[in-house]
Every structure is written in structure tokens, then in C-alpha cells.
């Protein structure tokens, strides 16, 4: 037996300090995980259980790339996020053992066609076309936890054309990394290669063609992309 068409390539992320690469299986994203961002989107930041949406693995765009301005939107938003890379498969993972399942961390952008997401919210339709489009998941290299540990605090920020747009701290996460891993693993089996985009701090906004986006998470790394035509 052979494949009838060319097999799609496996999406990978570089690993800081290693010649190996991290194969990406699924991309889970946590919604509204910083109180100030929940407020700016018009929601009560009370500690309601986390909720998730997904992006396809091949939506990953490596750091240093040009992101083509996507079709079907005139309101492309940036959301800077800490990305968790799962290194060990598991389900029903207890909070106390969740970090054993982490391979490492990266800096990601959950790029969003805010106009399409807004229409979907209003019509009670899925967010997929607002969130899971081509190149919608820029991501830095993966920094292994065995090198950097498990960051619980530290600055997370995004500059656009040198101007600060988003600024927060990992200690402001409503649901911590172990809590989100545990919660999500009760809904689906988390498999080595899965990524979790952990939510964005306040300050989301639109970007335009030609803009340079510089993201940073203390102790994890940096991510730079440019918006193209």
C-alpha cells in the first residue's frame, strides 16, 4: 500500500540548544485566561472553568517569518501567549503531576480575524474561521523544561513597531499551566507533540501590513514576525 497523494509534512518547531525538532500534533488554545483581557473583551473575569478552541498544526508559522495578511478580514488582531509543549502522553492527569507531561515552552501569537470571530460569537457559530486559518499560529523555538524549568512568573509582552501593546505577567494566569493541563486532559487525551496556547494578557489590537511584531516571555524566548501583503 502507498499513499495516493503526497503525504502532508509533519509540522515541527526548532528546539533551543538542540539539533532535534519538536513535532506538532494538535494545537489547543485556552480562551480568556487573564482577567484584564477577559474584561477588555466584555466578560466577567470570574474563575469560570477554562474553555478551548483549536488551530490546525500546520497553522504554525516559524519565528522570523513574514505572515501574509490573511484573506476575509480587515481586523487582524495579535494575542501574545505562553505556549506549552506536551512531551508525555496522558489523560485524567492530576494537577500535582501535570508538569511531568511538559516538554518545554515557547512564545506564540494567537493571530485572530477578530471580525470573523465577532460574527461567529453573535451568530452562536464556531470560531474556527476566526482563529484557525493559515499561518494563524506563529511560534518561537521550544525551550526545553530541563533547561529553563517551569516558569510561573515573569513578563509576557508584545511590541508592534517598537511600541508596547501588550504587557502582563505569567503570575496573572487565571488557570495555571498545571491546572489547564489537568483540566484539558479530562476532556481529551493529551499526546506528546500537542501544544497549548495558554491565553493572552490585556492589550489585544489590530495590526496592518508592514507591521513588525516582537513578542517576549521572560525565561522562555522571543518571537518576531512581520505582517506581509
**79 in contact with Mn ion (CB under 5 A):** yes
Per the structure block, which three cell numbers stand in for 103? 516538554
Strand runs labelled E in 31-87? 52-55, 60-62, 66-67, 76-78, 80-86
Q: Near Mn ion by CB under 5 A, which window of 5-13, 51-59, 110-118, 149-157?
A: 110-118
CB 111 within 8 A of CB 136: yes
Question: How far is residue 150's CA from residue 144's CA, in Å, rounded to a whole number?
Answer: 9
Piece of the chain touching Mn ion by CB under 5 A; list 93-101, 118-126, 170-178, 200-208 = 200-208
Q: Is 110 in the site for Mn ion (CB under 5 A)?
A: yes
Residues 140-179 that bind Mn ion (CB under 5 A): none
Which residues on adjacent β-strands are paired with residue 53? 29
The answer to whether 37 contacts Mn ion (rule: CB under 5 A) is no
- What is the SS3 assignment for 128? helix
| Smallest distance, Mn ion to C-beta of residue 158, A | 12
Based on CB atoms, which residue is closest to Mn ion, 79 or 214?
79
Residue 41: CB atoms within 10 A of its CB come to 15
Which of these segments, 44-52, 78-86, 149-157, 201-209, binds Mn ion (CB under 5 A)? Answer: 78-86
Name which of 21 and 206 has its Cβ closer to Mn ion.
Answer: 206
Q: Are 86 and 103 in contact (CB under 8 A)?
A: yes
- Least Å from the CB of residue 3 to Mn ion: 34
- Separation between Cα atoms, residue 26 and residue 196, nearest integer Å: 8
- Asked if 200 interacts with Mn ion (CB under 5 A), we say yes
Contact residues for Mn ion (CB under 5 A)? 79, 110, 200
Amino acid at each position: 500500500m502507498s499513499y495516493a497523494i503526497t503525504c502532508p509534512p509533519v509540522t515541527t518547531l526548532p528546539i533551543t540548544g538542540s539539533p532535534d525538532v519538536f513535532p506538532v500534533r494538535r494545537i489547543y488554545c485556552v480562551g480568556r485566561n487573564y482577567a484584564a483581557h477577559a474584561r477588555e473583551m466584555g466578560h466577567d473575569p470570574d474563575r469560570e472553568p477554562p474553555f478551548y478552541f483549536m488551530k490546525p498544526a500546520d497553522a504554525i508559522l516559524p519565528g522570523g517569518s513574514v505572515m501574509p495578511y490573511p484573506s476575509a478580514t480587515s481586523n487582524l488582531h495579535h494575542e501574545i501567549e505562553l505556549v506549552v509543549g506536551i512531551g508525555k502522553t496522558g489523560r485524567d492527569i492530576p494537577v500535582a503531576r501535570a508538569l511531568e507531561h511538559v516538554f518545554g515552552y515557547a512564545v506564540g501569537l494567537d493571530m485572530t480575524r477578530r471580525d470573523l470571530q465577532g460574527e461567529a460569537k453573535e451568530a452562536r457559530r464556531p470560531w474556527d474561521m476566526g482563529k484557525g486559518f493559515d499561518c494563524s499560529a506563529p511560534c518561537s523555538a521550544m525551550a526545553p523544561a530541563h533547561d529553563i524549568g517551569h516558569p510561573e512568573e515573569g513578563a509576557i509582552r508584545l511590541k508592534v513597531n517598537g511600541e508596547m501593546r501588550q504587557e502582563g505577567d505569567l503570575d496573572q494566569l487565571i488557570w495555571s499551566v498545571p491546572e489547564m493541563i489537568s483540566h484539558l486532559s479530562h476532556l481529551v487525551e493529551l499526546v506528546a507533540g500537542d501544544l497549548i496556547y495558554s491565553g493572552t494578557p490585556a492589550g489585544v489590537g489590530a495590526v496592518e501590513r508592514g507591521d513588525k511584531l516582537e513578542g517576549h516571555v521572560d525565561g522562555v524566548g522571543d518571537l518576531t514576525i512581520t505582517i506581509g501583503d
